[in-house]
Amino acid sequence: EDKVVQSPLSLVVHEGDTVTLNCSYEVTNFRSLLWYKQEKKAPTFLFMLTSSGIEKKSGRLSSILDKKELSSILNITATQTGDSAIYLCAVSTSGTYKYIFGTGTRLKVLA
């Protein structure tokens, strides 16, 4: 059975700290790994990582895919209170049109 696991489940840090969120997966025919940020409503897309694009960066956020370890990390440097959210990891597989989501990591950044 395909599975995506995120850790930690929750995290509390202070502004300015650097955080690393983890996502590991066990799936058949991996296609891509996606990171989303969810504040109060809809998840919003952050990054998509594939075999041809294993590193992505946008401002203070960056993500790396490790295909050997079947995992990915999402780094946030110099955290701000606006980074407080649930961060979701999802994996898509070839041959299906589905995305398997992890349980998410709830990040709280204190001022």
Partner 1 sequence: NAGVTQTPKFRVLKTGQSMTLLCAQDMNHEYMYWYRQDPGMGLRLIHYSVGEGTTAKGEVPDGYNVSRLKKQNFLLGLESAAPSQTSVYFCASTTWRDRASNQPQHFGDGTRLSIL
Q: DSSP secondary-structure letter at 81? A: G
Judged on CB neighbours under 10 Å (0-12, 13-18, 19+), 74 is buried
Q: Which residues bind partner 1 (CB under 8 A)?
A: 6, 9, 31-32, 34, 36, 41-45, 48, 50, 88, 90, 92, 94, 97-99, 101-104
Question: From the CB of 16, what's the least distance to partner 1, in Å?
Answer: 29
Q: Which is nearer to partner 1, 18 or 103 (CB)?
A: 103
Alpha helices by DSSP H, listed for the chain, are: none
If the CB atoms of residues 5 and 78 are measured against partner 1, the closer one turns out to be 5
Cα separation of 81 and 43, whole Å? 18
Query: Whose Cβ is closer to partner 1: residue 17's or residue 61's?
Result: 61
